[in-house]
Amino acid sequence: MAGRRRASGSGVVVVCLLLVSLVGCGGRSVTDVALESVQRVLDRRAEAIVEQDESAFVRTGAQSGFDDLRAVPFAEWSYRVTALRRAGDTATAEAELRYRIEGNDRAPVTAARRLRLSLDAGGEWYVESERPAQKSAEQLWDQGRVDVVRGARSIVLGVGQSAERLSTFADLADRAVPAVTQAWGTEWPRRVVVLVPESLEGMAGLLGSPASSYRGIAAVTTGETGAPAGAPADRIILNPVAYGVLGQSGKQVVLTHETTHVATRAHTSAATPLWLSEGYADWVGYLGSGRTPSDAAPELWRAVTEGEIPAGLPTDEDFGFTGDSAGLAQAYESGWMACRMIADRWGEVRLGEFYRAVGAHEKRSGAVEDAMAKVLGTTLADFTAQWREYLRSQFA
């Protein structure tokens, strides 16, 4: 009996010795210990980036990457490890990156990242590489060294761009901000962040989509619709190919259009149809440009003059990047003419009120109809009839 107890106790000791490498006999697994160690390394790396301390950055891993983001003025940068897969002396960490650009972001931008790490001779983890997580969009510094130009109301970040060209974009953005403020009001940050990748493929990488989706699109604005006041700044991403071939006036119209999306973001929701959000942005973009309807809406002008007046306002599907450039252009032009008609017949203030009223609706169904009744005193059917007649008169 006593012998059996001694054998049993001996077995417990053996089992504990076997488990100590896995859980430490104290309930904490090796994975937990490694995760904490990796988190500490990434915390030091984040601090080095904010402080622009290259030597501290190098102590956490490979030097490559520091020069690419050195010029960006980060007010905050942090990692939160969400998963860790270890294989001997190497590991792969999935992490949430949060960062703010100083003077521009009111709250952190978040991005999913994947980091590969190794153990050094002293048993410390160091970073071998960092890239976007699977199916996640790139950050601009993933594409090369970022150069930065600060405007009075903007900051422009570019890869593969000359300082002169970035300064030109900053000047355009600086003119766009007061133009949008005059039309929309002051209830927005009144600053914009512009990203200029080196190529169309670079633009697509920042958006996490195929390049074919943006061929011919001069710029895109990212951000969450209905974002609260504390949301991070939107990013205006330029297509250096399509934007580059525009004249100075066209460049200004596009950047003012995109800046309008930044300004109206908090009042744009799932209830807001694209004809209104894109039409309003075009309306602000064309203000003061001197462009006539036939100049600014050639596809719609052609349809109307050929007796093919649209039966109704464009649907969201009409704004899809399907390869039908004429149809896409007509959808944008139709939205612009609808907003232009509201400004002409009800006034610019009512146009802004109508936009806000639609976005405040809890759901898409009935949003436009309710706002038209409350703000414009009309019905969707009557509005559509007036819009079709307005097209005839403007394109006559």
CA angle 276, 278, 281 (to 5 degrees): 100
Q: Is 355 exposed, middle or buried (0-12, 13-18, 19+ CB in 10 A)?
A: buried
Are the C-beta atoms of residues 157 and 105 closer than 8 Å to each other?
no
| pLDDT for 339 beyond 90 | yes
State the fold for domain 139-266: Zincin-like (3.30.2010)
pLDDT digits (tens, 9 = 90+) for 241-287: 999 999 999 999 999 999 999 999 999 999 999 999 999 999 999 99
d(CA 126, CA 129): 9
CA 22/CA 76 separation, integer angstroms:
36
Name the nearest CA neighbour of 132 among 143, 123, 122: 143
Q: How far is it, in rounded angstroms, from Cα 252 to Cα 89? A: 53
What is the C-alpha separation between 395 and 296, in angstroms, rounded?
Answer: 11
Q: Is the pLDDT of residue 208 over 70?
A: yes
- Domain locations in the chain? 22-136, 139-266, 269-396
Show the tokens assigned to 250: 């066209």
Tell me the DSSP string of 66-96: HHHHTTS-EEEEEEEEEEEEEETTEEEEEEE
- Prediction pTM value: 0.89
Calculate what percentage of the chain has a pLDDT beyond 90: 83
CA distance 193 to 157: 8
pLDDT band at 31 (very low <50, low <70, confident <90, very high): confident
Please give the pLDDT value at position 230: 57
DSSP 307: T
For 213-234, write each residue's pLDDT tens digit: 898 899 999 986 665 655 666 8
The mean per-residue pLDDT over the stretch 5-28 comes to 43
CATH number belonging to domain 22-136? 3.10.450.50
- Least confident range of 74-83, 173-182, 230-239: 230-239
**Which residues have CB under 8 Å from 328's CB, separation 6+?**
318, 319, 320, 321, 322
